[in-house]
Structure 1
């Protein structure tokens, strides 16, 4: 093939460089080049046809006409025949042969494409069924996990409880089947009531597992008659010592109502403010402490608030106040406080339900992006 190319290039250069009286003597060489190229093509196509290469027989049949027409025209040009030029006919037959070959190849490609499409549809359908089955299994597992978590942690989505004159109402809305929010209400032997709220970092299964760890540590310490700050400090030390290697932190609030219902002692760790509404005043207790478990020996301080008969207390996790409909547009503590101020005529359950409805109105078409836990406390002394 290289030899044919070089002879052809040489013949073309002679035509370009030399005048007619010279290059006409080289036409015979160019005939030779054409004959060699045609013979090489015939040989290659014959070999391909014998090896049963796809389409080679059709191309060979068309090329035979081109080859025969070329030899005929060479003989005619050298005055061995007196018939005429037939290269155009041979070229036409060769083009027809190529068209037939391309049509067959296109048809086969289309058939393969249709087969691939059908196979793809079948595989997609099979994979969809597999994914649905897997999703159903995951959903069943999550439902079981939800029931297990509720059983272990005594969690209810909505519930009310009363200890003496003090009433508690809970609104708990996990983002998924299992969540990272936790609460506990305990009456101590000395008559005090201890309330514990926690919010594990993250969502879903990871956060749910952390809540079990939190509850395990708190269970061992919750009946100790220490102040909320000391109890929170002890929980933080134990949690940092046991689980600090996995960087497990959580926000928490511990509230303690005195036996006579006249004093609230509380300590906060990385949590939203606690709202206290007395008869003639209100308090917004802000948190100034880090998350539990973040520092090994951090000492959490206590804060004390005097309570008057008929008081109301709201404490919640940040899933409420940090819900947003647009980036930077949060529900915020101000809306919670405004609803608390206007809810004097409502029962505690109605107050919490109203806050939830107001939150969903605020979000509109958006969805909450975190677990929501709101705990309301009300004094029902006359």
Structure 2
């Protein structure tokens, strides 16, 4: 029989769970589900009655991942399969059965699990921030251990601390520089709307894009990628941004801009880094796109009829050949069409069998989301990308830019 205290606890738990979307799962021997609260709401797409009595992990085809929280402990993420076969991420908290304030709700339960659903893009950003925090924690822990060593290491530690502070200062400067390179807003135009997603693998990366209003009817879109990760690619990216800002208002057309950009970088880049780029000018007077692709992956125009036009690489990468005159091509587009520009981190994401997401993966995701908003389309591509990968961690910077031509045109 449930006593008055248990009834009060039950009302409190139901109130807390009902106010959000979390669920409390009680587990018995062999991890079998004894009950779920709230009982009148489906959990992970399954009716509670269908789950009771079944092993927790098997019933939900669950995978669990531990993620450092950036402070002093680890969070646990659970990926549960719903009734339609989709994998959904949850933040998981585990409690032993005895001694919990809600133990009386399900007597004889050995443990409890509190599961809270996560939005995919938010959890991705959280994991990126936690990876950075984990790296900082490892450095701090290393410093603390070295400080406990003998006096012979004190002088070395002082040098290391000075260099570490300088490195952190340089890295913070690079972070601020990287932020300043990305557009803070989009051009004021009635012709096209935009949204983007940018996820650097490290604190700073080599991806860069820009959107410029060239005239009342012309919008320029630039997407580039410097090989590698860290401070060096970030500073090369800053040089590209500076040169592009100067050239885009001076040169006539995408080929001319990238030709002059190539002339500059062929003379000054002496490292192993290389640069790919695609610069396209969308003319809403003629409804044509002039583009120049310098070794970059094929950018896409998704048409309202479900077909795609690719903007393939028609020139060498930037900095490879001096005095090379780049060429451009022209393709049509229409009202309602969607442009999808991206870097190679998207198409090179790998599944468990080592296959890559590829251009076909982008096309499938965009085609399925054509009826959604641009933000919905971008979030779906991020979701599809994570579900395709063997691990929810990117091995390269991820940059994607979506734009949709206004159909009234």
Taking structure 2 as the reference length, the TM-score comes to 0.57
- Secondary structure of the residue aligned to 2:400 is strand
Is residue 261–residue 307 contact of structure 1 (8 Å, CA) maintained in 2? no
- Identify the residue that residue 368 of structure 1 maps to in structure 2: 394
Which one has the largest radius of gyration?
1
- Which of 219, 223, 233 is 1:193 aligned to? 219
Distance 1:185 1:261 in 2: 19
Residues 181-215 of structure 1 show CA distances to partners (whole Å, capped at 9, x for unaligned) of 11111111463111111101111111101101111
**3-state SS of the aligned residue for 2:279?**
strand
Pick closer, same or farther for the CA change 1:370–1:155 going to 2, 3 Å.
Answer: farther
Q: Where does structure 1 lack aligned partners over 5 or more consecutive residues?
A: 1-117
More helix by share: 1
How has the CA–CA distance of structure 1 residues 345 and 191 changed in structure 2, closer, same or farther, with 3 Å as cutoff?
A: closer
Distance 1:351 1:119 in 2: 49
- Residue 262 of structure 2 corresponds to 236
CA displacement at 1:322 relative to structure 2: 0.9
What residue is the counterpart of 2:274 in the other structure? 249
The answer as to 2:179 corresponding to 1:147 is no
CA distance in structure 2 between the partners assigned to 1:376 and 1:300 by the alignment: 25
Unaligned runs of 5+ in 2: 1-144
The 1-side partners of 2:351 and 2:157 are apart by 33
Give CA-to-partner distance per residue, 1:302-336, whole Å, 9 cap, x none: 11111111111101110111122457421211110
Divergent runs of 4+, >6 A: 118-121, 124-134
* In 2, Cα distance between equivalents of 1:123 and 1:359: 50
1:335 match: secondary structure: helix
Alpha-carbon distance in structure 2 between the residues aligned to 1:231 and 1:119: 52
Partners of 2:351 and 2:376 in 1: CA distance: 24
Taking the TM superposition and a 5 Å limit, the aligned residue runs for 1:135-284 are: 138-139=167-168, 141-151=170-180, 153-155=181-183, 162-189=188-215, 191-241=217-267, 243-246=268-271, 248-260=273-285, 262-280=287-305, 281-284=307-310
Give the root-mean-square deviation of aligned CA atoms.
Answer: 3.0
Which has a greater percent of strand? 2
The CA deviation string for residues 136-164 of structure 1, in whole angstroms up to 9 with x for no partner, is 7644542342123222x1356xx666522
Q: Distance in 2 between matches of 1:329 and 1:233?
A: 35
Counterpart selection for 2:380 from 330, 354, 364: 354
Aligned residues: 261
Q: Distance in 2 between matches of 1:171 and 1:119?
A: 40
**Superposed counterparts of 1:265-344, under 5 Å:** 265-280=290-305, 281-326=307-352, 328-344=354-370
| Alpha-carbon displacement from aligned partner over 1:246-274 (angstroms, at most 9, x marks no partner) | 45520000010114261111110111111
Report SS of the residue matched to 2:376. Answer: helix
Q: Following TM superposition, by how much is the alpha carbon of 1:130 offset from its aligned partner in structure 2, in angstroms?
A: 9.2
CA distance in 1, matches of 2:242, 2:204: 17
Deviation digits for residues 234-257 of structure 1, max 9, x if unmatched? 21112213x144455200000101
Whether the 8 Å CA contact 1:324–1:368 is kept in 2: the answer is no
Contact 1:162 1:168 in 2 (8 A): no
- Give, in whole Å, the separation in 1 of the partners of 2:255 and 2:272: 22
